[in-house]
Structure 1
Amino acid sequence: MFDKIKSEMVKAMKEQDKFRLSVIRMIKASIDMMRIDKKIEITDEVVIDVLAKELKTREESKLEFSKAGRTDLVENLDKEIAIIKEYLPEPLSEEEVDKIITEALKETEASSIKDMGKVMRLVTPLVKGRCDMKEVSNKIKAKLS
């Protein structure tokens, strides 16, 4: 996945697509920064984590800018979000998330909120980067209480 990002960066340079190039460079820089900070190898999982974090940041900024009436910045963020989403895996539907949670609850035999950690450990690798983890956590809490 990281190789794809690097090749897309070269492609954007050749096409002189400055906006796309700047977004891809930002993604690459974030990935490199995580690699250096945490002293880890770059895997698809690391790339997905970084992309999800960058996407979340942009969506939060978009919300703030729209509240402030800054439509110019909102439009730029929409373009950035679209580019970032190109590299993320296909998002899961509500039904798929519910199915994964239900299966995890059965597998862990979770019965109370105390078992939430077990369920989250099982669910997280399956849904990370493909849906909002806060939403997943809330759904698990609702099913356990």
Structure 2
Amino acid sequence: MSLVEQLNADMKAAMKAKDKETLSVIRMLKADLSNEQIKAGHDLSADEELSVVSREMKQHVEERDSYADADREDLVADLQAQIEVLKRYMPEQLSEEEVRAIVQETIQAVGASSKADMGKVMGALMPKVKGKADGKMINQLVQSELA
């Protein structure tokens, strides 16, 4: 089942359950996917769909964090609920240990030895973990391994 089909099925279920929060997130995600499809000029591949969902997840997390810094707990709770809905459409996230193993394997594969090689490592690493791990965590792990 494609992501759009899954979203349509979940949207119907949310309408029947009168779950306004889930419904609004699903509608937003469907609109983003539709806009991306129009911009691309073709049906989106699974990777392209994943990148749209990942982008939305990242935006919501950053927005939640900024509201938390401003002590706006009411908005933080709303955004956290939206993030939980978005997580349903993300692939299973890798643990820090799994990411560290992939980072070490990639560093050996590209022959990196210093922080100057970080670009090579990240370029080889990101396709392996796209959508499965947080970019900040990946960056920190690569920096610590190359230090």
TM-score between the two structures when normalised by the length of structure 1? 0.87
Q: Which residue of 2 aligns with 1:34?
A: 36
Deviations for 1:57-82, whole angstroms, at most 9, x for unmatched residues?
Answer: 11222122223332221111111011
Query: Who is 1:110 aligned against?
Result: 112
Mapped partners of 2:62, 2:11: distance in 1: 25
Deviation for aligned residue 1:40 = 4.4
The alpha carbon displacement at 1:96 in A equals 0.3
| Structure 2 partner of 1:25 | 27
Kindly state the Cα deviation for residue 143 of structure 1 after the two structures are TM-superposed: 2.2
Moved over 4 A (4+): none
Unmatched segments (≥5 aa) in structure 1: none
After superposition, residues 1-145 of structure 1 pair within 5 angstroms as: 1-145=3-147
CA RMSD of the aligned region, Å?
A: 1.8
- After superposition, what is the alpha-carbon deviation per residue over 1:89-125, rounded to whole angstroms, capped at 9, x for unaligned? 1111110001001111111222233433332222112
Distance 2:103 2:69 in 1: 34
Identity of aligned residues (%): 37
Q: How many residues in Structure 1 have an aligned counterpart in Structure 2?
A: 145
* CA spacing shift, 1:40–1:135, aligned 2, 3 Å: farther
Q: What SS does the aligned partner of 1:84 have? A: helix
Residue-by-residue CA offset, 1:2-41 (whole Å, 9 max, x unaligned):
3212221122223332221111000111111122223343
* Structure 2 unmatched ranges of 5 or more: none
Q: Matched residue of 1:87: which SS?
A: coil
Counterpart code for 2:131 = G
Structure 2 CA distance, aligned partners of 1:48 and 1:111?
A: 32
Report the Cα distance in structure 2 between the residues aligned to 1:77 and 1:134, rounded to whole angstroms: 20
**CA shift at 1:138, angstroms?**
2.9
2:135 and 2:108 map into 1 onto residues whose CA distance is 20
TM-score by length of 2: 0.86
